Chain A
Amino acid sequence: MEVAVCVKRVPQVGGRIVVTPDGQDVDTRMSGFAISPHEECAVEEAVQITERLGGTVSVLTLGPAEAADQLRDALALGAHRAVLLEDGGREWGPAGTAAAIVAEVRRRAAEGPGCDLLLLGNEAADTGDYQVGVRVAHGLGWPCATGIKHLEITGDGARARREYRGREETFEFGLPAVITVKEGINLPRYPSLPGRLRAKRAAIEQYQPQWQPEGLRKRALRVPDQPRQQATVLGTGADAVPALVRLLEELGVLK
């Protein structure tokens, strides 16, 4: 089973999110970088599948040269190959990103064993466009399921489940296919020391796809108004319980 996983390097923001003075980016001077939890789970799922069925896991990212760090994180978790599509210092939108991923999957298939399963996150943590996976599936002509929280690979097909409005939706289709996953599908492992050492030495393939303009054009980013300010302290420890009960009464949540 040849599995490829698409991951995106995004700023790791802690207690506060700050926009640069020109309003164009998130201020990352104080932050690290990581991939989204959804994508961590996609890497874990791919590694588990190849542990069961054999095959290789490739991780793929479109980003700056520094996104090699995130590829190495995935290699440390058990991915076998890594591909960096260099973004040329530009911000890519979902259509261009999908086109670059499609081209890379096709290039791989032309050179050797193609990809049987392509895993992505349901949405990227930063832009939250909710569409790269679906666009990639259309580009490749493959079936696609999104928001998946349970996946079984059955011979030459997949059975994928998600929960929606208190019901379970199950999708069954043949491979190759595109599946976008959500956190909760598994509990990602921690990287092992040998895994880290292997990742450090691994070679990363690099390509330069052609940027294309998008139909959704950012003008500016801003932080939404914060309706809440500092909390009113009702008291300390169990002594505060009578005040807390009165508050719950006032809020109308006691039956």
Chain B
Amino acid sequence: MNVLCLVELDEAGVTDASLRALTFARSLATGGPAAPGATGPVVAAVAFGPADRVPASLLGRYGVTEAYVVEPSALDGYAPQAWARTLEGLLSVTLAAAVVAAGTDCGSEVLAHLGALTGQPMAANCLTASPEADGTLAVSRQRWAGLLIEDAILDGTPALLTVATDVVPPVPVDDAADPAVLVHEPDLDPADLRVRAAVSAGRDGGVSLATARVVVGGGRGVGGPDGFAPLEELARLLGGVVGVSRVVTSQGWRPHTQQVGQTGTKITPELYLACGISGAIQHMAGCASAKHIVVINTDPAAPILSRADYAVIGDLAEVIPALVAALKERA
């Protein structure tokens, strides 16, 4: 089956979320019957930006066989409905039976528009998809921010899917070849451009919560807005950032940008050190992909202890300053 995948570009080339979406697109393409007369399934990628910024060899390493680029002269910047219209136009060019995007703000929004433009259903945050004999797809997808999995049947051509990017790993191919990069001119409707983004300059430096290697988490147990200084210091010593629970943001102790969880940020660090957090499932939905979870909590029966690797039972106001002192001494 031919599959078209939306690829988001960044300074490093292609976003990590898009590499995961490409991996998903490739397994979907090779899992089904090939298009009639074709030598092999096509994994087509489409990116928006200057052609010289499209990293062909990186795309090739992730199984892309054809790359389309929409240059700023044709469509400048992010306009969700115009991006969806472009994907719609590429369906007949690529003979794609499925369209895939990362389950990011951008990918989810563009595929929702494509669903509305084509009148097709869209399955959000998929983990797996495989063609059935009757032409439908068997999919598994996240509900409840990943706390539940739904097994479902997706009808319709093209099949529209976003990929749960915190779960599906990015896997390169063995026999990579650079795809041709073809400039594509989309056929847009004026209404497609009613909503387009003006984008600010990037935040300079600073580690972001979503990509930090270490996150020091603080919950209600921190006690108040003044309790976060030792957590900040610990995060700094570990080269990481502070993340918080919803209790902390809804009390106004910390800004919502620091919230980890279902309605906050999903984190994927090497280490999540969760202090004074009980481990409500909506919080765990944001940190389940952490490689290691270590807990500091006064309550040995707190639910988070049954979802963590290691724990210190104790008052964080005592343990964290002692840990900070020990790390400083060591340095």
Contact = CB atoms under 8 A, between A and B. Distances in A.
A123 B238 CA distance: 34
B238 to A, nearest CB: 6
Interface string B5-19: 000001000010000
B149 interface: yes
Given A167-B203, A173-B195, A237-B314, A138 B117 contact: yes
Contact of A26 (B15, B148, B308): B148
Contacts of A123: 108, 124
Contacts of B306: 228-231
A165 interface: yes
Decide if the interface of chain A is mainly helix, strand, loop or mixed: mixed
Interface string B105-121: 11011011101110011
B109 A147 contact: yes
B330 A134 contact: no
A36 interface: yes
B258 to A, nearest CB: 10
Given A19-B148, A183-B256, A238 B322 contact: yes
Interface in A232-250: 232-238, 240-242, 244-245, 247-248
A217 B257 contact: no
A144 interface: yes
Contact of B113 (A36, A134, A164, A187): A134
20 contacts: A13-B281, A17-B144, A130-B112, A131-B124, A135-B115, A144-B81, A164-B106, A183-B259, A219-B151, A224-B148, A228-B293, A231-B309, A232-B311, A233-B313, A236-B312, A237-B318, A238-B322, A241-B319, A251-B292, A253-B240
Given A165-B15, A230-B305, 20 more contacts: A125-B263, A127-B143, A128-B143, A134-B109, A135-B115, A166-B203, A168-B200, A169-B197, A220-B150, A223-B149, A232-B311, A236-B312, A237-B314, A240-B314, A241-B326, A244-B294, A245-B326, A245-B330, A248-B271, A253-B214
